[in-house]
Amino acid sequence: MRQAGRSLPGYREVRKRASLFEICRSPQLAAEVTLEPVELLGVDAAILFSDIVLPLAAIGVGVEIVPGVGPVIDSPIRDARDLERLRPFEPAQDAPYLADAVRLLVSQLDVPLIGFAGGPFTLASYLIEGGPSKTHARTRALMYGEPLLWRRLLDRLADIALASLRAQALAGASALQLFESWAGVLDPGSYRTFVLPAARRIFDGLADLGVPRVHFGVGTGELLESMAVAGADVVGVDWRVPMDAARARLGRGVAVQGNLDPAACLAPWDVVRERVLAVLAQAGPTGHVFNLGHGVLPETNPDTLRRIVELVHGHRGGERAEPPVRS
């Protein structure tokens, strides 16, 4: 999750020469920064370097990634007329570099490549707020106040995510992740009414591909039961929910992903180590994709990440393979 981001030296170098969208639109640059964490950290999978707003830019929505802020939309969506700007996304015509980057990476990687897209609530929130938001108040107000417009908006965004994810899988991605990052601001009833149908439409639309589907959000503790029925094979949880509690809420048949607090990576190694082992113990020996609970913080020392990967690799089936640290 944002593993190639601002904490890595190679990525920072590339960013001096190219903007974020320029990297995304160049298969060579996207491949270079996707490979860096695999080589440097030893992770078991690569996540394609791209951004969740890229398909919106590709269909002509005015969006910029502002450094230190995130995606900023020129002219936010406020009424039904604004919906016309969200035409269907046709990856082969609108963003051929996406599949090209996937193909290039698959030819170079010896670990699986994860493709991804933004969840409909999360993309709607950027489009309605005009950029990142702490409260997502306008988004929720439109959702409650104009349910028909909301529904049409989410259906369009679901189709955009589905088209993007299918294109990445068909180009060779081995797993697909839907980043519904900000859905955790909703209560469970609203999530079920206003977002779940769109999420289900995406996961159902991927089922024939036979590729594992991951569904992630931040602060989704109260939504996990509902997210479990959206159809993903793996649900990502952040650090607020202990892994055993997450499993109980998700029920059988769904694997879990997560959930080390990214801020824990800034602590001294002994503390990091204990917290990693606690996550592993809580998640249990199978059906767990070890990950951070959210994206890597820019100030993280890559060496800590490398040591975490090594520690997790040494920890098989509940056994501690690494000798205890002397105090």
Which residue numbers are catalytic?
A: 2, 6, 15, 51, 126
CB of 216 to ligand 1CP, least distance (A): 7
| Residue 116 binding ligand 1CP, by CB under 6 A | yes
Q: Which of the ranges 63-71, 75-83, 157-165, 314-322 carries the binding residues for ligand 1CP, by CB under 6 A?
A: 63-71
In the chain, DSSP assigns E strands to: 46-47, 63-66, 70-73, 113-118, 175-179, 213-216, 234-236, 255-260, 288-292
CB of 74 to ligand 1CP, least distance (A): 16
The number of residues that bind ligand 1CP (CB under 6 A) is 24
CB of 134 to ligand 1CP, least distance (A): 9
Q: Which is nearer to ligand 1CP, 55 or 315 (CB)?
A: 55
| Residue 67 binding ligand 1CP, by CB under 6 A | yes
DSSP 222: G
Residue-level length of the chain? 327
Among 121, 179, 191, 239, binds ligand 1CP (CB under 6 A): 179
Q: What is the DSSP string of 187-215?
A: -HHHHHHHTHHHHHHHHHHHGGG---EEE
CB of 285 to ligand 1CP, least distance (A): 27
Strands 288-292, 255-260: pairing kind: parallel
| Residue 194 binding ligand 1CP, by CB under 6 A | no
Among 10, 42, 70, 212, binds ligand 1CP (CB under 6 A): 70
CA 44/CA 41 separation, integer angstroms: 9
Footprint of ligand 1CP on residues 285-324 (CB under 6 A)? Answer: 294-295
CB of 293 to ligand 1CP, least distance (A): 10
Among 18, 59, 65, 109, binds ligand 1CP (CB under 6 A): 65
Structure tokens at 62: 């005015």
CA 281/CA 232 separation, integer angstroms: 23
CA 205/CA 98 separation, integer angstroms: 19
For residue 135, CA distances in Å to 12, 75, 130, 138, 237 come to 30, 19, 13, 8, 20
| Residue 5 binding ligand 1CP, by CB under 6 A | yes
Residues that bind ligand 1CP (CB under 6 A): 1-6, 15, 20, 47, 49-52, 65, 67, 70-71, 116, 122, 132, 179, 181, 294-295
